[in-house]
Structure 1
Amino acid sequence: MFIEKAYTKNFDFIKYLPIPLVLLGLMALNYVVIVVMNIDVEDVLRQEIAKKGTNQVFIETLMPMIILLIALLVWVKYVNKQSITSLTTARDKVDWSRVWFSFAVWGGITAGFIGLAYVTNPDNFVLNFNLVPFATLAIIAMIMVPMQTSFEEYLFRGYLMQGIGIVTKSRLIPLITTSLLFGVMHIANPEIEKIGYILLFYYIGTGLFLGIITLMDDGIELALGFHAANNLISALLVTSDWTAFQTDSVLKDVSEPSVGFDIFVPLLILYPILLFIFSRKYGWSGWKSRLTGRIKLTQE
């Protein structure tokens, strides 16, 4: 089972703490500074883009996550003495077909909904395509976005899911905890400032969905594919002035954001459909024991 793969006789939860504490501390500090100093995140991004260009700001936005990904993997391998494979999956090796299947399914759905939104409400978009900046964006995004999303998956659905699960001997506690932390991680995003804290329900719900597919599938491969598709396809196809990713994408959404379709359709309709697709394809069973059962540890 996936959580148990991280357990050995040398397991020490204290060694798990530095990276998540540093990350959560930095996020908390960033949020406090924004609130106390009443910083308009959207305006700051607009000024940075005006000075440096969209692609440069995009790189600078992604780079901290990439550095943290490298730091996390090095820490796991050399401090926790755990293989990257066991951080990724309970299988003997990483199943890349799962990554690509999840990427293709969610990427197709995401692209389809963007296309549908453009066709049904063309006044909400302007054509933003410019060949050279877009080609540059595509190269940057295809390299850096999967690394950024992989950091979040390795941290929340891998590292913390396993560590909290081993300490609590529970599957439900790390599922809930990592989902909440994943949502809170996005609290300083400009989308929250623009739409409101209700958007946290979307992030927490997405974290819950990713946690469920991780526990049911005994690995983070499906979560890796989903998250990469979600961020990459969005970065390439549509941008707006109030999102964390502002890019030289094909379209620019100029509509006024509102709570509704973009939040509740994924949570209430699309994610359950994906759970059904994945469960049928990979033959999932024993939902209760896999999501809420106790963990039995055997020393190696």
Structure 2
Amino acid sequence: MYITQVFNVLHDWWRYIVGVIIAIIGVVIFSMPHMIAIGVETAIGNVDLSQMQDTNYMMSLFDPNLNLVFVLLPFAGGLLALLLAVKYLHKQSITHLTTTRKKIDWKRFWFIFFIWGIVSSGIVLLDYYMAPEDYELNFQLVPFLMLCVIAILLVPLQTSFEEYLFRGYLMQGIGVLVKNKWVPLILTSLVFGLLHIANPEVDKLGSVIMVYYIGTGLFLGIMTLMDEGLELSLGFHAANNLFTALLVTADWTAFQTHSVLKDLSDPSEMGIEEIFVPVFVVFPILLFILSKKYNWTNWKDKLLGNIVEPPTEDYKILEEL
């Protein structure tokens, strides 16, 4: 039903291409403050032009909190542009894009938000307890409080943009085009993972980290299709990025923040199990727990089944559902 309900709105293939272009334009427009700031620093001689390709160097130009704003703002612009495209280009409501339920189920969002927030934070704290030499205390009260405000306001916009774009807009758009569920599930997971290839983590950890990114996209896509909505993927993604930004940072990660802890470990020494365990152990366990809580059934059809356009007279029924 999550994909099928799109037949009830304007769903021509070209509209999805235009919608993606509009979202990209939103990202570019909201990237301008960062570009302007770099231009000002360059004009006053504070930038070594020979190091412009060095991500760590570019991030060192500004305070971590300001850097975080610059990193997250484009996602906020992309989200705004995407939702405007959905509303005016497709005549689709945000609720309709989010879920098959009559209204967005925030209980689902907060359930997995706190579950994953506790689990992910617990993993970091356990690692800190077992290997304290790999960390240093990075806590500074005022910068941390500023970080909290920035992260709480902007991180959910960043994660929501990615979820609405990949698990929502593209999942639905590709689904109605190819008339099945497995193609949009695989494609959106692959593209989601590959778009992270520019992250600093990839340079340090190698291409094997793509297993984690693509696997995470697949996990979020499975949740969306099985639960017939984005609430769970929105909550998980927001918790994952928010708690990480607040709790731990490192010189080789995309989020370099005034977090509580700083990871000093050598990323090249990270074991392959640290990448594979979340994807092949932790995520399946979470799916099992969620399936029991929300009574998921008919996995094969929901993940691999065909999409059949309902008769015209059934559109109103779909809308009411």
User: So what's the TM-score if we normalise by structure 1?
Assistant: 0.92
How many angstroms apart in 1 are the aligned matches of 2:21 and 2:204? 28
Unpaired segments ≥5 residues, structure 1: 28-36
2:152 aligned with 1:139: no
2:287 aligned with 1:271: no
Paired residue for 1:114, among 121, 124, 133? Answer: 124
Deviations, residues 45-86 of structure 1 (Å, cap 9, x unaligned): 23x2xxx21100000000000000000001100111111101
Q: In 2 relative to 1, CA 38–9 (structure 1 residues): closer, same or farther, beyond 3 Å?
A: closer
Q: How does 1:1-300 map to 2 (within 5 A)?
A: 1-8=1-8, 10-21=10-21, 39-46=53-60, 48=61, 52-257=62-267, 258-298=270-310, 299=312, 300=315
How many angstroms apart in 2 are the aligned matches of 1:177 and 1:107? 27
2:303 corresponds to which letter in structure 1? L
How many angstroms apart in 2 are the aligned matches of 1:189 and 1:10? 35
Structure 1 residue 24, shift from structure 2 partner: 7.5
How many angstroms apart in 2 are the aligned matches of 1:9 and 1:54? 43
Note if contact 1:24-1:185 (Cα within 8 Å) is conserved in structure 2: no
Note if contact 2:220-2:233 (Cα within 8 Å) is conserved in structure 1: yes
Q: In 2 relative to 1, CA 133–246 (structure 1 residues): closer, same or farther, beyond 3 Å?
A: same
Structure 1 residue 197, shift from structure 2 partner: 1.4
Note if contact 2:65-2:146 (Cα within 8 Å) is conserved in structure 1: yes
How many angstroms apart in 1 are the aligned matches of 2:166 and 2:183? 13
Aligned-partner SS, 1:17? helix
- What is the root-mean-square deviation of aligned Cα atoms in Å? 1.8
Q: Which one has the largest radius of gyration?
A: 2
Q: In 2 relative to 1, CA 259–66 (structure 1 residues): closer, same or farther, beyond 3 Å?
A: farther
Aligned-partner SS, 2:197? coil
Note if contact 2:10-2:89 (Cα within 8 Å) is conserved in structure 1: no
How many angstroms apart in 1 are the aligned matches of 2:67 and 2:271? 27
How many aligned positions are there?
287
- Aligned residues with identical type, % of pairs: 52
Note if contact 1:195-1:259 (Cα within 8 Å) is conserved in structure 2: no
How many angstroms apart in 1 are the aligned matches of 2:309 and 2:296? 22
Deviations, residues 22-46 of structure 1 (Å, cap 9, x unaligned): 768999xxxxxxxxx9922223223
Deviations, residues 170-203 of structure 1 (Å, cap 9, x unaligned): 0000000000010011111111111111111110
Unpaired segments ≥5 residues, structure 2: 29-50, 316-321
How many angstroms apart in 1 are the aligned matches of 2:23 and 2:251? 26
Note if contact 2:9-2:92 (Cα within 8 Å) is conserved in structure 1: no
Structure 1 residue 272, shift from structure 2 partner: 0.6
How many angstroms apart in 1 are the aligned matches of 2:52 and 2:212? 24
Aligned-partner SS, 2:308? coil
